[in-house]
Structure 1
C-alpha cells in the first residue's frame, strides 16, 4: 500500500468514527431528527449544485425507474439509518455506536442468503457468532451505568438492519449510475423524508444556535457528507476490498475519540469486546485482502 493511500485510509477512518462524536455535540443544541434533517438537506442541496451546476452536462438525471430505487435508498440508508442513529445517541455512547458499524456486512450476508440465495460458509457463520459475543461483552455492562440503554441498543440494531436492507436493494437493482449521483440523491431524498417525522415529533422543541450547533453542521455537512464521501470514493476506486477493511478499524477510532472528546470511559469490557468483534471479523474472512478486478 502506498503511503498516500495509507494516510487517506487513516483519515477516512478517523472522520467516519467522528460522526457519532459530533452527533453527541449537536444534541446539546437541537433534537436529533431536526439535526439530521438540516444536515441532509443542506448537504444534498450543495451536492446537487455541484452535480448539475458546476458539473452541468456531465451527470444525467436518474430516470423514473432509478428514482424509485433511490427513494428506498434514501429512506433506508439516510432517513432510518442515520435518523435512528441520532435518536440512539441520546442514550448510547459513541464508542458503542461505532462498534456496531463493522457488523453491518454480517446482516447483509444474512439477508443475501434469505432473499438472493447466496450461501454462507461455516467459517463465516463462526465469525458472526464470535462477533456477536463480542458485542454482548462490550454492551451488556454499560446498561448498569448511564452510557447505554436497551432502547438505544435496539435503535442502533434497527438502524443497522435498515442499512443492510438498503445495501441489498442497491445490489439487486444494479443501478447504472455514478456513485456520487446515487449518494447525492439518497441524501437529499432522505432529508426530505425526515421532514415529516421531524415536524410531527419535534415541532416546537428549542434549537440553540451556539458553537455546538454550528460546529455540528459544519463538520457533518462538509467534513463528513462531502469531504469524507470523496475519500471513500477514492478508496473504492483503488481497491473495494481494502476500502471496506478500513471500516473494521472504526471501533478503535470511535472509542479513542469518545474518550478524548466526550470523556466516555474505555472499560476493560469495551476493550475485550472490541478484540472479540475484530477476531470474529477475521475468522469470517473480512480481513482478507484480495486483488482488485
Structure 2
C-alpha cells in the first residue's frame, strides 16, 4: 500500500475512533434522529451547489445514501442514545469488516486468501479480548443489536461503493447526503415530537453546534472521502479490516474523555488486533518471502 494511502487510513482511524465520544456528547443534548438530520443537512448544504454530481448511476448514489448515510447512523445514534457505551459501540461496529469481506466474496467473487483469514481471525480474537474487560459495563441488548445492524448497513455501503467503480468521493458523499435528512426528520417528528425538535433547534448549545460541525465536516466529509478512495484503489479484503483499529482509538478516547476505564484484557486485545491487521496487510509479502527462502534452501 502506498505511503499516502497508509496516512489516509490512519487519519480515518483517528477521526472515526474519536467520533463515538462526539456522538455520545451529541445525543446527550440533541435527540438522535434530529442529530442525524442536522449532520447530513450540513454535509449537503451549501456544498451541493459547488460540488458536481457524481458521474455514476443514481442507483449507486441512492444505495450509498440508504446504507452508509441513513441506515448506519439511524441504528448507531439510537443505540448510543439507548445506553450503548461509546467505547464498546466502536468495538461492535467493526463487525462491518467481517460483513464486508463476506459480502464481497459472495457478491463480487473476491478471493479470500489464507493471510486474510488468519489476520481476521487474530483480529476477532483481539476484539473478544477487548470486550473481556468490560464485563462490569451494562450493555443494553437492543443497543447491541442496533449496533450490529449499523455495522451490516456500513458493510452493504462498502459494496455499493466497490460496485460503483471509480467515483469522485467528495461528490458521492455530498450528493449522497441529500436523501438522509428527510427520513431523519420524519423519524424525529414521529418518535421525538415536533415540540422537542423546535425547542432543541431554538436552544442549541455551543457544544451541540461543535458536535454537528465535527460529525458533518470531519467525520463525514473527511472520513468518508478518504475511506471511499481507499476502497476504490485496493481490494475490499485489504481495506475493510483496517477499521478494526478504530475501536482501539475509540476505547482510548472513551477512557480519557468519558472515564470508561480499560481493563488489562482490553489492552492485550488491542495489541492482538494490531497483530491481526499486520498479518492482513503484509501477510502476502511475508508468505512470499518464506516461500522464496524455502526454495533457496
TM bracket, shorter-chain basis? 0.7 to 0.9
Supply the distance in 2 between the matched residues of 1:7 and 1:127 (Cα, whole angstroms). 21
| CA distance 1:244–1:107, shift in 2 (3 Å) | closer
Cα distance in 1 between the residues matched to 2:242 and 2:101: 19
Any unmatched runs of 5+ in structure 1?
A: 52-58
2:93–2:150 Cα contact (<8 Å) kept = no
Aligned counterparts of 2:242 and 2:108: Cα–Cα separation in 1? 26
- 2:186 maps to 196
1:39 maps onto 2:45 in alignment: no
Q: Deviations over 1:97-127 (max 9, x none)?
A: 2234554232111112223333433443344
Q: Indicate if the aligned counterparts of 2:64 and 2:157 stay in contact, CA closer than 8 A.
A: yes
Q: Give runs of aligned pairs for residues 1-293 of structure 1, distance below 5 A.
A: 10-51=10-51, 59-60=52-53, 66-90=57-81, 91-139=83-131, 142=134, 144-146=136-138, 148-172=139-163, 174-175=164-165, 177-203=167-193, 204-205=195-196, 207=200, 208-229=203-224, 236=230, 247-283=243-279, 285-287=280-282
Shift of 1:229: 4.8
Whether contact under 8 Å (2:54, 2:172) holds in the other structure is: no
CA contact (8 A) 1:143 1:150 kept: no
Is the CA contact 2:174–2:221 (under 8 Å) kept in the aligned structure 1? no
Q: Write the distance in 2 (CA, Å) between the matches of 1:119 and 1:240.
A: 13
In the alignment, the residues of structure 2 paired with residue 260 and residue 160 of structure 1 have an alpha-carbon distance, to the nearest angstrom, of 25
The root-mean-square deviation of aligned C-alpha atoms, in Å, is: 3.4
Structure 2, unmatched stretches of 5+, are 286-297
CA contact (8 A) 2:241 2:277 kept: no
User: TM-score if structure 1 supplies the norm length?
Assistant: 0.78
Are 2:54 and 2:168, in contact at CA under 8 Å, matched by a contact in 1? no
The 10-residue stretch of structure 1 (213-222 or 189-198) with the greater mean CA deviation from structure 2: 189-198
How far the C-alpha of 1:279 sits from its partner, in A, is 3.4
Paired residue secondary structure (2:190): helix
Alignment size in residue pairs: 277
2:295 corresponds in structure 1 to none
Q: CA deviation at 1:3?
A: 9.5
Aligned partners of 1:196, 1:87: CA distance in 2, in Å?
A: 15
Contact 2:99 / 2:152 at 8 angstroms: preserved in 1?
Answer: yes
Please say if residues 245 and 287 of structure 1, whose CA atoms lie closer than 8 Å, have aligned partners that are also in contact.
no
Asked if the contact 2:64/2:176 (under 8 Å) is kept, the reply is yes
Change (3 A) 1:125 1:274: same
Summarize deviations over 1:165-214 as a string: whole Å, max 9, x none.
12223323x35542211111222222333233222222243625223312
Indicate if the aligned counterparts of 1:71 and 1:186 stay in contact, CA closer than 8 A: yes
Measure the CA separation in 1 of the matches of 2:159 and 2:84.
Answer: 27
Query: d(CA) in 2 for partners of 1:9 and 1:122?
Result: 23
Distance in 1 (alpha carbons) for counterparts of 2:226 and 2:166: 21
- TM-score under structure 2 length normalisation: 0.77
Q: Is the Cα–Cα contact under 8 Å of residues 126 and 273 in structure 2 kept in the other structure?
A: yes
Asked if structure 2 preserves the Cα contact closer than 8 Å seen for 1:99 and 1:274, the reply is: no
